[in-house]
Amino acid sequence: MSPMLEVHGLSKRFGKVVTAEDVSFSVEPGTALGIVGPNGAGKSTLLSLIGGVLAADGGTIAFDGKDITTLSSGARSEMGIARSFQIPRPFVDMTVFENVYVGAAFGGKVQGQAGYDTTAEALEISGMSHLANVPAGQLRLLDRKRLELARALATRPKLILLDEIAGGLTEKELPPLIEMIRGLRDSGVTVIWIEHIVHALLAVVDELMCLAFGKILAIGDPREVMASREVIEVYLGSTFDMGEAAS
């Protein structure tokens, strides 16, 4: 079986800022990869390169055995790559249901009854059914994050890219979100999840990558990565929320 995602020698710079330098890794189908790294490391940029919002300067990306390096983000979305953004941007005047239906219709290419069914299922999985008729602009942060997840899910992805979906949530709000993401992975969706809240990642991911200055410092077993000298040095002196996982 080929990897769900295979990135080889990826590079990207903005002027003098190097955000990806010879980045190579792969993710097996139905597994979850976590990504940590200091602010500005290039984490969101990497998701943009995988999703096709940004074009790479060099390197290749293969998805589900096919080279997607030069494909548009729309084409990648149709193939089964979905993304939740670090800053949620829902259509504020539309209801939660309508927002998710847009994901189903345009990303998932399902309309009419099938579109409604896909939307209802995505709302159910993300715990938002009861908010279906609320305008997205009225949602609190947790529900805006859930809406991001529901919109991505409605495209019926094989690979979902989550960018700080837990950021800004309280400790009490975290467990349901963690359960949801674990459930997704367990249902066969491949997950790549950027998060600063390391204990949330450690509760779900099969592998962990630490990025810094556009380079992979370490990748592999999550606890071994967090214990590696390079990773500890990068985080020394910064706030680093290991929570329960530290013991």
Ligand X SMILES: Nc1ncnc2c1ncn2[C@@H]1O[C@H](COP(=O)(O)OP(=O)(O)OP(=O)(O)O)[C@@H](O)[C@H]1O
Contact set with ligand X (CB under 6 A): 14, 17, 19, 37, 39-45, 86
**Both ends of the chain: CA-CA distance in Å?**
36
Buried residues in 56-92 as b, exposed as e (16+ CB within 10 A): beebebbbbeeebbebebeebbebbbbbbbeebebee
Q: Tell the smallest beta-carbon distance from residue 133 to ligand X (Å).
A: 33
User: Nearest to residue 218, comparing CAs of 20, 7, 23?
Assistant: 23
Instruction: Measure the CA–CA gap between 134 and 63, rounded to whole angstroms.
Output: 36
Q: Tell the smallest beta-carbon distance from residue 188 to ligand X (Å).
A: 27
CB-nearer residue toward ligand X: 68 or 161: 161
The partner in contact with residue 74, picked from Mg ion, ligand X, none with C-beta cut-offs of 5 to 8 angstroms by kind, is none
The partner in contact with residue 19, picked from Mg ion, ligand X, none with C-beta cut-offs of 5 to 8 angstroms by kind, is ligand X
Helical H segments across the chain, by residue range: 43-51, 73-79, 96-102, 112-125, 141-153, 174-186, 198-202, 222-227, 229-235
The partner in contact with residue 41, picked from Mg ion, ligand X, none with C-beta cut-offs of 5 to 8 angstroms by kind, is ligand X
For 137, the token pair is: 């602009």
DSSP state of 6: E
Closest residue to Mg ion, judged by C-beta, is 44
Residue 215 forms beta bridges with which residues?
Answer: 212
CB-nearer residue toward Mg ion: 60 or 86: 86
Instruction: Measure the CA–CA gap between 213 and 104, rounded to whole angstroms.
Output: 36
The partner in contact with residue 14, picked from ligand X, Mg ion, none with C-beta cut-offs of 5 to 8 angstroms by kind, is ligand X
Q: Tell the smallest beta-carbon distance from residue 41 to ligand X (Å).
A: 4
Contact residues for Mg ion, defined by CB under 5 A: 43-44, 86
The partner in contact with residue 158, picked from ligand X, Mg ion, none with C-beta cut-offs of 5 to 8 angstroms by kind, is none
Q: Tell the smallest beta-carbon distance from residue 19 to ligand X (Å).
A: 4
CB-nearer residue toward ligand X: 14 or 91: 14
Q: Tell the smallest beta-carbon distance from residue 44 to ligand X (Å).
A: 3
The partner in contact with residue 39, picked from ligand X, Mg ion, none with C-beta cut-offs of 5 to 8 angstroms by kind, is ligand X
Instruction: Measure the CA–CA gap between 241 and 197, rounded to whole angstroms.
Output: 6
Q: What is the bridge-based pairing of β-strands 32-36 and 190-194?
A: parallel
CB-nearer residue toward Mg ion: 56 or 123: 56
By the 8 A CB rule, do 204 and 178 touch? yes
CB-nearer residue toward ligand X: 42 or 157: 42
Q: Tell the smallest beta-carbon distance from residue 164 to ligand X (Å).
A: 7
CB-nearer residue toward ligand X: 40 or 220: 40
